[in-house]
Amino acid sequence: MVKTPLHLAVYLEQPSVIQALIHKGVNPGLQDRNGNTPLHLACEQQYLQCAQQLLKGPAKPDGTTQPRGYHQDLQLQNWQGLACLHISTLKGNIPMMSLLLESGANIDVREGTSGKTPLHLAVECHNCRAVQFLLRNGAYVDAQMYNGCTPLHLAVGRKDAAIAAILSHSGADTLLRNMENETAQDLADGNDDVSLYGGKPVALQLLALLPFDDLKISGKPVMCSE
């Protein structure tokens, strides 16, 4: 389907036009040829006011508005497998993420290509603030991708000691195995990066986060980005 008037109103950043179209009963859930709804576009363009209008819904006969987000499938994915919360997480837009969660978006929604949750994506973007926001709002710290990788696997594999610490302090299981039969501990052991974090080599920082008694001294890092 080509873009609807609602898609165009978002592109032009016209929240008042969006409001008028919604009140006229225009369907906000229609997808364009890329699978994007108007809300997907609002998240991509980071137009918060447009998203707010899209999520308000039409007024009831008594003059009150419908519950926020009631008329939209907030888990709906575009043809890239991304729901609106995935897009706003990739953008690092905390206010948009908050709006979507308040409107009923599933905080652990999986994207369609590799099964990443918003928390996985925030880790991949090295966005500490987004990681902390998602965890505070109940994101499952041990969610696994289709290949079995948890957010901690990704953090350790990307040598991000700061985010690995956040996940560990939030109770991440260091012994969960991915499809390569590797734990986050294996990845930390195989991390020979020499750059520094907090005055120490990253590998030492990562190993210090994990219970030493259970560390395996074998294995190599796997790529968790696909």
Question: Closest by alpha carbon to 186, among 200, 174, 194, 195?
Answer: 174
pLDDT digits (tens, 9 = 90+) for 41-63: 999 999 999 999 999 866 666 55
pLDDT at 219: 34
Lowest-pLDDT choice from 6-20, 28-42, 208-222? 208-222
d(CA 124, CA 160): 9
Domains of the chain: 107-226 (1.25.40.20)
As a whole number, mean pLDDT of residues 24-53 equals 96
d(CA 91, CA 66): 28
d(CA 107, CA 94): 13
- Which carries the bigger pLDDT value, residue 56 or residue 10? 10
pLDDT at 3: 83
**What's the predicted TM-score (pTM) here?**
0.83
